[in-house]
A and B are shown apart, each in its own frame.
Chain A
Amino acid sequence: MAIIKLSESKLEELRNVCKSFNNEKGELINVLHKAQGIFGYLPAEVQEVIAKELNISVAHVYGVVTFYSFFTMLPKGEHPVSICLGTACYVRGAEKVIEEFKRILNVNVGETTPDGKFSLACLRCVGACGLAPVVLVGDKVYGRVAPDGVKDIIAEYAK
């Protein structure tokens, strides 16, 4: 894997985050939440810094990062698309919506388009089951999405 050069200012920010939690190893999950907020994802390099700051092994950090679905080691696209696969959305046809996103963007779930614009992910229930099936682009929620509405959603961001 290529080594990613992280910007010094962001690393400084990360160290300050660790410090704000007193470099306490019990605060690892809170630190990871903040770190993902800073970098957008949690590459190995970030995990190494956190391990050093909190005085725990990198394996421990990696174990936690990979355990929780909220944390990702891959960078997301500029517009992260998440399709809810909760049961309510599933029975109302979320699978067909995923297929359509996959077809139009030409990526699989968990991947990012080559231009870095869109990444595709599934998530489990945002709790807006009344609007099923639900799609999130960034923080914006789209409700009652039908497969033929997918291209319009993508068009909104494709510019």
Chain B
Amino acid sequence: MAKYKMHLLVCGGTGCHASESESLLSHLKAIVTDKGLDNEVQVIATGCFGFCEKGPIVKIMPDNTFYTQVTPADAREIIEEHVIKGRKVNRLLYVNPENKEHIADSKHMGFYKKQIRIALRNCGFIDPENIDEYISRDGYEALAKCLTEMTPQQVIEIMKKSGLRGRGGGGFPTGLKWEITSKSVSDVKYVVCNADEGDPGAFMDRSILEGDPHSVIEAMIICGYCIGASNGLVYIRAEYPLAIDRLKTAIGQAREYGLLGNDVLGTGFAFDIELRYGAGAFVCGEETALIHSMEGLRGEPTMKPPFPSVSGYYGKPTNVNNVETFANVPVIINKGADWFASIGTEKSKGTKVFALAGKINNVGLIEVPMGTTLREVIYEIGGGIKDGKKFKAVQTGGPSGGCLTEKHLDFPIDYDNLIAAGSMMGSGGMIVMDEDDCMVSIAKFYLEFTVEESCGKCSPCRIGNKRLHEILDKLTKGNGTREDIDRLRNLGHVIKDTALCGLGQTSPNPVLSTIDNFWDEYMEHVNEKKCRSGQCKALLQYVIDPENCVGCTACARNCPVNAIAGERKGIHVIDQTTCIKCGACLEKCKFNAVFIK
């Protein structure tokens, strides 16, 4: 390999891809060639840096300069100024929102300071399409160590001791799962990687597969060795074309290098990986549903037990782990169980990747030690709430999780704390909401999702969630009663207790947690028919203040349904029965006479 003096790392994740990072990459490459720097400067596309808010990102190594929102037109300046003359392009540096200072080194950015990157260790550092780069960062070393120096049971012991728990949501101890599957007797066993990230607003797994596919492949081989399986399957969403491409490339390279196939690393152990495509069903994140989907059936869950570790894919013992869980495995083998167990809290070890999104300044992908507080995540890493608004709630765990509020901000995040607070870890989506969000509407939004995604097999989920949604709809339209809220609560608990799978057992969480934490807001919708954030359209009333109205007729002329009456230079009035609450009058009034009641 040529020795380069400088590396230009361009983010090639889906977020930056959508903002022309590909064209930026080709511009940079062309200019490097043009200047005759091909032997000194390498330009590569990496996986996600996590700082999606300010993408596309370009990072320059070895000096760690971090450029944000770079467009193809900036390529020439970066090469001519930074690469050739060694002067940083100030206007592209990240600006600290607090003191307006430019920060060149990403290590000093608030966004990165608190993070510890284990699962994301290679995302943004290596070219995911080049196996040599993965190998140069200790890639496949853990595999070699397991296959040549350790027995499967020894590896399982390390996994158990590390305390790693499933990152897909359930939080089941990974080592224990491997042990159970390893003890199931069968001629054929399967290792399945669950990459069906269906949780809206979450993109952890996608970023790992796009940025570091080999770490997942390596872990799957190790898992196969431990449980005695020769077949690996990755169940991945068809909506992730880039991740699928990168994974395919990586599998091909691993075969070429003898890391997959009939004789892995010359040890006689056989293992290979195939892809299976999801087709857009949230319930397929549940392991039994996922397995049925891989068998070409409707993705409906079945009763457990039997657990997949005993009877899974085509009735054979199957070990299902999530992408992020797998990404942790090689590091644990390399650095040891004690090292991993030293990070995190008593019952939740290691780190967790979160997809931070919603009304927050720094949208992106972050990885923090378990036990970090929500306040640190939202204010220090996330940079606080967008547009200086007030924090209202954070939704963790996606449609299965709950809304946490200000009083939970100093909670250390781990599996058990989140459940105690009425939410859950889930796969790691974290959506921040501000004062403009109506919590009743948010609960309704999630229920809409669950109703659509319920597979329909068991009645608590199929019928119960539909009823929850109807009641919430009634509340947002101003027709709710006090009894409706009690009904929501009762029904919610019944569904939780009786539904067949994880989807139904958690689907009332958004409703129950918002009722608990935002009781006043629910009561306002019922008693005063008022929505304080103005999101429930049916509860709004546009009114003209006679004090401010000058009779300019602008509102009346722009009203699409002629609901506003009034003479020129006289006071105007809105007829509430005709008004469709479109807000056109509010926008057009130059005298602040129209307001929302």
Contact = CB atoms under 8 A, between A and B. Distances in A.
B296 A131 contact: no
Interface of A: 25-30, 32-33, 63-64, 67-71, 85-88, 90-92, 123-132, 134, 141-143
A132 B395 CA distance: 17
B455 A67 contact: yes
B355 interface: yes
Contact of A88 (B201, B239, B455): B201
Contacts, number: 128
A155 B358 CA distance: 29
Nearest to A60: B297
B203 interface: yes
B258 interface: no
B279 A91 contact: no
Most buried by A among B207, B239, B299, B452: B239
A155 B550 CA distance: 38
Interface in B360-416: 363-364, 395, 398
Interface residues on chain B, size class: 35 or more
Nearest to A143: B18
A91 B297 contact: no
Given A87-B445, A91-B359, A131-B52, A64 B239 contact: no
B14 A90 contact: no
Interface string B10-26: 00001101110000000
B53 interface: yes
Contacts of A142: 18
Contacts of A25: 296
B549 interface: no
Interface of B: 14-15, 17-19, 52-53, 55, 197-203, 206-207, 238-240, 276-282, 293-299, 314, 355, 357-359, 363-364, 395, 398, 429, 431, 433, 437, 442, 445-446, 449, 452, 455
Contact of A87 (B277, B299, B395): B395
Nearest to B582: A99
Given A124-B200, A127-B203, A67 B299 contact: yes
Contacts of B449: 124
Given A64-B298, A124-B198, A129-B201, 20 more contacts: A28-B297, A29-B276, A68-B281, A86-B200, A86-B201, A87-B445, A87-B446, A88-B357, A91-B358, A92-B359, A124-B280, A126-B14, A127-B202, A127-B203, A127-B206, A127-B240, A130-B357, A132-B357, A132-B358, A141-B18
Contact of B363 (A63, A68, A88): A88
A92 B181 CA distance: 44
B358 A131 contact: no
A68 B280 contact: yes
Nearest to B283: A67
Contact of B445 (A71, A90, A126, A128): A90
Most buried by B among A67, A70, A127, A134: A127
